[in-house]
Amino acid sequence: MKKDIHPTYHSDAKISCACGNTLDVGSTIEAISVELCSQCHPFYTGKQKIIDTARRVEKFQARASKKAEKVTGKKAKQAKRTAQKIAKREEAEKAEA
């Protein structure tokens, strides 16, 4: 086997989570920082936690709300036409009176 090809092993490596939890494990890296650990992960805690570092969730919710406001389709067009017909009838009745 070749010598000096393996990385150095640190038996007391620190893993620090964004929630503040720290773990001591063995690794080839001395310090590791993670966003989720077993203390704050939704699978283990049963609580939903949204980590949105690039505003992806907010952007999606904004797009979804715009789509909900903008109703298109056959029924929407039909409702719009009926409203216009009713408005025209009301104007004609006001003009006759």
Helices (H), 1-97: 42-45, 56-69, 74-96
Q: Give the pLDDT band (50/70/90) at residue 95.
A: confident
Checking if the pLDDT of 70 tops 90, the result is no
The pairing of beta strand 10-17 with beta strand 22-27: antiparallel
User: What pLDDT, on the 0 to 100 scale, is given for residue 71?
Assistant: 65
Task: Judge contact between 52 and 36, C-beta under 8 A.
Answer: no
pTM to 2 decimal places = 0.45
Calpha distance 55→62 (Å, rounded) = 11
User: What pLDDT, on the 0 to 100 scale, is given for residue 1?
Assistant: 67
**12-52: per-residue pLDDT in tens?**
999 999 889 999 999 999 999 998 888 888 888 888 766 77
Domains belonging to the chain, first-starting first, are 1-51 (4.10.80.400)
